[in-house]
A = this chain, B = another copy of it.
Amino acid sequence: MTTIIRRFNDWPIPIKIILSFALVIFLGSILLSMPFSQLDSSEANYFDHLFGAVSMVAVTGLFTQPVAHTYSFIGQVFVLLLIKLGGLGLITIVSAVVLQFGRRVSIQGEVTLQQALNRKDRTDFKYYILSIVKYTTLIELIGASIMSIHFVPAFGWRDGLFTSVFLTISAFNNAGFDNLGTASLQPYMTNPIINTVIPVLIILGGLGFSVWFDIGKRFKSLLLYKDWKDWRSLKRNYRHLNLHSRLVIKWTFWLIIGAMFLFMLSEWNHPETIGTLSLIDKFQVSFFQAVTLRTAGFGTVNYAELHMFTLMVFTVFMFIGGSPGGTAGGAKTSTVALAVILLSSEIRGLSNVNYKHHTLKTEIVKRALVIVVMFVLLNFVAISIITIFDGHVPLQFIFFESISAFGTVGLSADLTPTLSRYSQTVIMFAMFIGRLGPITIFTALANQDKKKKDVKYATGEILIG
């Protein structure tokens, strides 16, 4: 056993992250498949539990058997536990493990860990991780309290509180699981509590911890120096945030506005979705769907009924996903942002890639574009494999489900439960890879090949067209 631990310590950190993820999923699937985790109505076999465990740890929300008809109270507690672990990111757990063993991490290992945690300054990890746990718990407590205003009167104390806690954790961790049954949140389509608390939780979880810390730092310095004049000027405060925070906040804002606008444009008169609703409810429902695309995956409309254009547009938002180093998935807002900035610079023939009077590092920008392309390729491969086994399903639904899985969004046109086991396995891998995130995969691959030399030869000319 000690040998195994010693060996584990020798492995590169990305490999540790991947293995820890896999281990947690495996243990989770065992716990979920225990008899005491099941309801009498459960029709799940081990594959369903494994699929569920992947989906929970990957905070996706796709399932082959719905939680409400499968898991007992104890089972649902396991579900929450897996979501919590997944949402905090196994990266966090791994780093805790690494630090726990007391062994000094090599400089290179520390750099990788910093990258994985999306921290650029070499601050004390323990403090960072404890703060994350503290603040996430606080936010979840507040969220659950407000939610219980609706659910306690509706379901009674025990079930009402538990449902509030369940939905809060699921929303904040961008997991998208619910314990309400097949209709999910559709009955709460126009409920004002659901339409405010859940979006706030989703957005907070999706911003990424480093943005929290930046906002927190700004807030603290305001309290310290009592600089209330600045405090009043929201815009000036915003400008004091670092470049990353500003980019993430700006993109999150415009992605929500954009998705909301396009959803309304496409579904305004569609009777199966928002066509028959009042003006205010149309806005409310559209706002909720726009926010849920930040990889939460709750739906208050039936996605199988959406216009094909809505499905196509939504895939773009799911592909982009949330921000790095938080509970959200996808290619990540900042990654896509850098890729877009690079594209526009290239088209204009500029050699420096600039954003807000800063020049971005060529390496990072190039890597962002590579990540985006890799994500496109991965999606294409997954979609193609699914067409082999489920060639009768119209492509738009496979397309939507695959991007939803890779982005760990979990929105579904009710396709996953009807797919073949082969295709469900593809979806499972998609969720796993999607949650590990491109950077982890990237670093894992790069580490394996350290021996190869980075040779510089004479220049070769190739014509492109």
Contact = CB atoms under 8 A, between A and B. Distances in A.
A391 interface: yes
Given A463-B244, A464-B368, A394 B395 contact: yes
B323 A465 contact: yes
A338 interface: yes
A46 interface: no
A464 B350 contact: no
B438 A465 contact: yes
B464 A324 contact: yes
Q: How large is the interface on A (under 10, 10 to 19, 20 to 34, 35 or more residues)?
A: 35 or more
A309 interface: yes
Contacts of A465: 118, 208, 323-325, 332, 334-335, 437-439
A206 to B, nearest CB: 11
Contact of A361 (B324, B399, B459): B459
Contact of A391 (B308, B313, B334): B308
B445 A347 contact: yes
Nearest to A437: B465
Given A348-B452, A373-B369, A384-B312, A247 B462 contact: yes
A364 B442 contact: no
B461 A244 contact: yes
Interface stretch (A14-22, A54-62, A275-283, A352-360): A352-360
A50 interface: no
A3 interface: no
Nearest to A371: B464
B364 A343 contact: no
A342 B384 CA distance: 24
A373 B373 contact: yes
Contacts of A455: 352, 354, 359
A427 interface: no
Contacts of A373: 339, 343, 369, 372-373
Contacts of A346: 366-367, 370
Given A343-B374, A349-B446, A352-B456, A210 B463 contact: yes
Contacts of A450: 349
Interface string A303-344: 000011101110010000001110000001011011100110
Contact of A383 (B312, B352, B363): B312
Contacts of A124: none
A5 interface: no
A308 B309 CA distance: 21
A120 B339 CA distance: 29
Nearest to A445: B347
A464 B347 contact: no
Nearest to A323: B465
Contact of A457 (B307, B350, B357, B370): B357
Interface in A421-456: 437-439, 442, 445-446, 449-450, 452, 454-456
A95 to B, nearest CB: 16
Contacts of A384: 309, 312-313
Top 5 closest pairs, chain A to chain B, by CB: A324-B465, A358-B460, A349-B446, A332-B465, A395-B396
Given A243-B462, A354-B457, A360-B462, 12 more contacts: A244-B462, A244-B463, A309-B388, A312-B387, A325-B463, A332-B465, A346-B367, A346-B370, A347-B370, A347-B442, A352-B454, A369-B370
9 contacts: A307-B387, A309-B391, A312-B384, A334-B462, A342-B370, A346-B370, A347-B446, A373-B373, A387-B396
Interface of A: 118, 120, 208, 210, 242-244, 247, 266, 307-309, 311-313, 316, 323-325, 332, 334-335, 337-339, 342-343, 346-352, 354-361, 363-364, 366-374, 376, 380, 383-384, 387-388, 391, 394-396, 399, 437-439, 442, 445-446, 449-450, 452, 454-465
